[in-house]
Amino acid sequence: MTDVSRDTFDQVMVPNYSPLKVIPVKGEGCKLWDKEGNEYIDFAGGIAVNALGHCHPELVNALKVQGEKLWHLSNVFTNEPALELAQKMVDNTFADKVFFANSGGEANEAAFKLARKYASENFGPEKNEIISFKQSFHGRTLFTVSVGGQPKYTQGFEPLPQGITHLEYNNIEELVKVVSDKTCAIVLEPVQGEGGIIPADKAFVEKVRELCDKYNAVMIFDEIQTGMGRTGELFAYMLHGIEPDVLTSAKALGGGFPIGAMLAKEKFAAALKVGTHGSTYGGNALGCAVASKAFDIISSQEVLNGVKEKRNLFNTKLQMINEKYEIFDEVRGEGLLIGCALKEEYLGRARDFMVAALEQNLMLLMAGPNVVRMAPSLLVTEAEIEQGMVAFEKAIAKVLSA
């Protein structure tokens, strides 16, 4: 076997990432181990992907069983795991139809293309404006970074797709002013993830719904991070008592196996007629078999209720830490999507806390430079939360004393 190390990354990988020094080689539940056998508590969860932890035995089994049966066919044929998964998604959500992709960005790409197609076919080509929000994140393809509201991700990639307007998130007044008959879609994350764990106000979500109805615009919820149990509901739209027209899912959907999905109401799905869109791997049997098992486990009431209980314990522990060290302005986000927003004097230092936590064998995330983020397995135990919080407190003490 080729001998590799962290240095190999700098030698042979495109420098678009800057990975930490530790290279995990094995995972089980909320634990990870590196080559030297050091054990880590994982509250990063592959950035909200490993919703059932690492190597959940039932997912491993689903992968093995399907792996010995059938992996891939092409879309000239359909396959049973894809049909089963789509049926479950339709039965348990607002949606009538499902399109499978391999990632979140691709699911969003499908959603944005659907919105444009629906509008141009039903109302004409002038209806092409996509309204999106500042700080939002929707993926890294050229269309999805352009819809996303973080200019740093589009700089240097111009010319960009046109017809996209970025407004202030949660600002009803501005939205009302800008939305028009030209608007073909309004897209938002119910909790902005990469943008800093910022939840949408209920009134804002309701207004988006109302305006989409009024102007025949497609209401797209990007639930790639908030979806699949993360908030304690199967999808975060369920917290708001409204239904979007189109919803995208990925990350937790496959529990670590790459898969994405776009869910849509019949009326809108009809715009993607035969031949209008596609994906070679999207809906492959292997990915769908794993996701189908993940869906069964995540959608159980026991797991969803557990998310809310676990969040309460996180809140209690984080509050105790904050009373002692006074570093967070607020702890926000829904369920097990937790954002600890740093106080003014610590702005820009989320990475310092993340690196210090790793030295205490705890894996955390950032959501921008000012927010420490946690997105652990939905199955994280009370003992693991307590152990992780002890490590987090030590890391904070170190940063403050440095």
Ligand X SMILES: *Cc1c(COP(=O)(O)O)cnc(C)c1O
Q: Measured from the CB atom, is 310 or 373 closer to ligand X?
A: 373
CB atoms within 10 A of CB 219: 25
Q: Measured from the CB atom, is 222 or 393 closer to ligand X?
A: 222
Both tokens assigned to 43? 């509250």
CB 22 to ligand X: min, Å = 22
Q: Measured from the CB atom, is 118 or 137 closer to ligand X?
A: 137
Distance, in Å, from the CA atom of 346 to the CA atom of 340, rounded to the nearest integer, reads 12
CB 47 to ligand X: min, Å = 7
CB 334 to ligand X: min, Å = 13
CB 355 to ligand X: min, Å = 22
Residue 271 CB-density burial (10 A; 0-12 exposed, 13-18 middle, 19+ buried): buried
CB 139 to ligand X: min, Å = 4
Q: Measured from the CB atom, is 2 or 16 closer to ligand X?
A: 16
| Residue nearest to ligand X as judged by C-beta position | 104
CB 314 to ligand X: min, Å = 20
**Interface with ligand X by CB under 6 A: which residues?**
103-105, 108, 137-139, 189, 193-194, 222, 224-225, 250-251
CB 301 to ligand X: min, Å = 25
Distances (CA, A) of 30 to 72, 359, 375, 376: 30, 17, 11, 7
Q: Measured from the CB atom, is 16 or 301 closer to ligand X?
A: 16
Q: Measured from the CB atom, is 218 or 389 closer to ligand X?
A: 218
Chain CA centroid to CA 286, Å: 21
Q: Measured from the CB atom, is 132 or 370 closer to ligand X?
A: 132
